[in-house]
A and B are shown apart, each in its own frame.
Chain A
Amino acid sequence: MAAADESYPADLRYHPEHDWVRADGDEHVFGITWYAQDALGEVVYYDPPKVGDTITKDAPYGELESVKAVSDIFAPASGEVTAVNPAVNDRPEVVNEDPYGAGWLVRVKLSDPSELDSLMDEPAYRAYLAGL
């Protein structure tokens, strides 16, 4: 496994539980940050929500399991799941290799896009990480 180098793309919004959101058309894509995958270690299992599930901001919507530990994945915003990344079920380590690209976790149709206003931008998330 080639783990990714630390990065926090400027076009994402960040949740304090180390989840990211990216706007993609009229839907949004969620994943976990470089910091989260590094803390978790080698990801070996993804327990995703189902397509059609309603997920709620700040609540767990799935689980990622590493060789070390199980971690809940927290929704950075509320909405309905429209797709689950099958690549992460096939090769969970893709979350370590490419947390912002091929390692995305779910696509969501947001119920209240204004929830995104409460999330951090890249400089704020980096400052938040520096304080941990």
Chain B
Amino acid sequence: MGGFAGWDMPLYYSTASAEHRAVRATCGLFDVSHMGQLEVSGPAAREGLSRALTNDLSAIGPGQGQYTLLCQDDGGVIDDLIVYALPDRYLLVVNASNIAACRDWLAERLPDGAELADRSPEVAMLALQGPGWADALRPLAATPLAFSLDYFDIGEDVIAGVPCLIARTGYTGEPGVELMCPWDGAPAIWDALMAVEGAPAPAGLVARDTLRLEMGYPLYGQELSRERTPIEAGLKWACDIAGGGFTGAEVMRRQVEEGTADRLAVFRLTEPGIPRAGQDVLIGGRPAGTVTSGTLSPSLDVGIGMAYVPSASAAPDTDLVIDVRGKPKAARTARRPLVATSPKE
């Protein structure tokens, strides 16, 4: 077990690499109940959230979700999250470490007519991820709803007798669903899934991290922080710069026009070694950037990572050197994802 945002979290159940491979090959089940759930409802909910969140909220209707960010006036990231439009409210799934920050920020800024509720303590969340997810879930689902959802869609069903919100989302790069249910209902779903034919492998935080790194997905606290904007992090696609009515849009528009000093790059080592967060990126022998995440890719069996580097060095196929505890290791930037897989089926 390991500590994360005040939670005792399973780092791994068997071994992290076996769990990682199970998710890529068949499926795995993650307990991500530490994640936060904020609800915003009322006649002004949409207008209020449109001003707070970077992505174009008008692009989603009931039953759909989108990746988006909550930013400060200077563009610094308060959190990255998924917002879902439900028939009568919006649901924001936020990082565990940022529940209070998101709640307080929104509570201060949402207009009259938008009600904010923090459901985090009463909502559990399980992520069933991998190409075998549907076969594992089918025997437990009251209706076929989950199997007709498109990527990022959300709906309601009963799983193993427990009412759930089911979203076709995840953080692994594999197809799958995230189930949100009443806190007390989660053990019944977990146990029922473990008993089906083609049961998922229980999977912990280490596999979750190696899976997301192979996809080049940023993690708050590593790649994302209040000191970096979505533009620097390569998340312009999740920012409605043209619409431009959200907090932080001014700074981001300027950054898009003028460029930023640094950019987040995904890289792989071209020799043996494992990069780790905090290590220097050397350009011309001098520290010019910082590794934000690094690991050994279980799929590729090479060291991979992400780093903020000078923008000129962030383009794919740029040679870098990573200072791995005093040993210079050759690396090359790459396109996301680092493995050939897609969560879209």
- Chain A contacts to B: CB under 8 angstroms: 1, 41-42, 44-45, 47, 63, 65, 67-68, 70, 89, 93
B18 near A67 with CB under 8 A, answer no
* Known A1-B17, A45-B273, A67-B12; 13 more pairs at CB < 8 Å: A1-B18, A42-B17, A44-B17, A45-B274, A45-B296, A47-B272, A67-B17, A67-B295, A68-B11, A68-B206, A70-B276, A89-B272, A93-B15
B286 contacts the other chain (CB 8 A): no
CB distance from A122 to the nearest CB of B (A): 28
CA A70 – CA B12 in complex, angstroms?
17
Contacts of A1 in B (CB 8 A): 15, 17-18
User: How large, as a class, is the contact surface on chain B?
Assistant: 10 to 19
Give 7 pairs: A residue, B residue, CB < 8 Å, sorted on A: A1-B15, A1-B18, A42-B12, A42-B17, A44-B17, A45-B272, A70-B325
| Bound-complex Cα distance A67 to B17 (A) | 8
Closest 4 CB pairs of A and B: A67-B16, A42-B15, A44-B296, A67-B206
Instruction: List B contacts of A42 (CB < 8 A).
Output: 12, 15-17
Question: Which residues from B are CB-within-8-Å of A65?
Answer: 274, 296
Chain B nearest CB from A90 CB (Å) reads 10
CB distance from A80 to the nearest CB of B (A): 22
Q: How far is the CA of A41 from the CA of B207 in the complex (A)?
A: 14
Most interface-central of B11, B17, B274, B276 (chain A CB within 10 A): B274
Q: How far in angstroms is the closest Cβ of chain A from B21?
A: 11
**In the docked arrangement, what's the CA distance between A93 and B296, Å?**
13
Q: How far is the CA of A44 from the CA of B300 in the complex (A)?
A: 13
Which of A42, A45, A67 has the most C-beta atoms of chain B within 10 angstroms of its own C-beta?
A: A67
With a cutoff of 8 Å between Cβ atoms, the chain A residues found around residue B325 in the complex are 63, 70
Residue of A nearest to B298 (CB): A44
Contact with A along B1-24 (1 / 0, CB 8 A): 000000000011001111000000
- How distant is B20 from chain A, measured CB to nearest CB, in Å? 9
- Of all chain A residues, the one with the shortest Cβ separation from B2 is A68
The smallest beta-carbon distance between B154 and chain A, in angstroms, is 32
Q: Are A44 and B274 in contact (CB under 8 A)?
A: yes
Residues of A contacting B12 in the complex (Cβ-Cβ under 8 angstroms): 41-42, 67
When distances are taken between beta carbons in the complex, the residues of chain A under 8 Å from B206 are 67-68
Complex CA distance for A47 and B296, rounded to whole angstroms = 14
Assembly CA distance A21 to B272 (angstroms): 27
Q: Considering the chains assembled together, what is the distance between the CA atoms of A84 and B257 in angstroms?
A: 54
Q: Which residue of A is nearest B272, CB measured?
A: A45
Q: Which residue of A lies closest to B209 (CB)?
A: A67
* Cα(A79)–Cα(B293), bound, Å: 37
Could you say which residues of chain B place their CB within 8 Å of the CB of A44? 17, 274, 296
Distance of A68 Cα from B210 Cα, bound (Å): 11
Q: Which of A47, A68, A93 contacts B273 (CB 8 A)?
A: A47
Q: Roughly how many angstroms separate A114 CA and B25 CA in the complex, as a whole number? A: 53
For the complex formed, measure the closest distance between the CB of A31 and the CB atoms of chain B, giving whole angstroms: 20
Task: Tell me, rounded to whole Å, the shortest Cβ–Cβ distance linking A67 to chain B.
Answer: 5
A101 to B4 Cα, complex, angstroms:
36
Complex Cα gap A12–B276 (Å): 34
Q: How far is the CA of A73 from the CA of B185 in the complex (A)?
A: 46
Q: How far is the CA of A69 from the CA of B274 in the complex (A)?
A: 11
Tell me how far the C-beta of A92 lies from the nearest C-beta in chain B, rounded to whole angstroms. Answer: 9
Shortest beta-carbon distance from B322 to chain A in Å: 14
In the complex, the chain A residue whose C-beta lies closest to that of B296 is A44
